[in-house]
Amino acid sequence: MGHAVAVCGMPGSGKGEFAKIIARHGVPVRSMGDMVRAEVEARGMAGSPTVYGEVAADLRAEFGEDVLAVRLADEVSKLLLDHPIVLIEGMRGTAEFEIFSSVWSPNFTSVAIIADQEIRFQRTQKRGRTEDGDRKQFAIREAREAGWGLYSLIENANYSITNESTLDELVTSAGAWLSEFRKDRL
């Protein structure tokens, strides 16, 4: 069986960019944020800075804090049969961590992508996603995700990568992390 790696970080930290870089190395990636975006689309809702958070909160309220992890676990487990590493982008809650850890331990690792709040806010303004709004919406989103346990996930991650510079530097850091991870874990 392969090794599952979940990436966490505050909004705009670079989780998605990290995942794209790792995917270029042949690692399958599944995005928890894409699951919420798909749910918004399935419900026929228009994307806005508030709707994605509302849908994520609704899913958690209706089906439990671990709903996205439970829905994703079987798919990742199947991928792990044929791939040495599968990356899960966007773990945001301790309930998700508990599911992933229980399903794949000891073959489960977490990586935190860390960046200063102002840098992250500026990134959200440039990337053009419908879930990104103004500074007020950014603060609301941060508080909501912190309430799911995201600070704890970041603090307790197995690896941390600081992403406060250029995309080229993230490419270098991500590549170095992947090389080290493969050497140490596989």
Highest CATH level, class, for 3-181: alpha beta
pLDDT in the model for residue 73? 96
Residue 133 has pLDDT above 90, yes or no: no
Question: Cα separations (Å) of 51 from 8, 95, 121, 149?
Answer: 21, 22, 19, 21
pLDDT digits (tens, 9 = 90+) for 30-53: 999 889 989 999 999 887 778 888
Q: What pTM was computed for the model?
A: 0.91
Where are the domains positioned within the chain?
Answer: 3-181
Most distant CA atoms of the chain, gap in Å = 45
Question: Cα separations (Å) of 5 from 13, 37, 117, 140, 161?
Answer: 17, 21, 24, 27, 14
With a CB cutoff of 8 Å and minimum separation 6, the contacts of 32 are 68, 69, 72, 88, 89, 90, 91, 92, 96
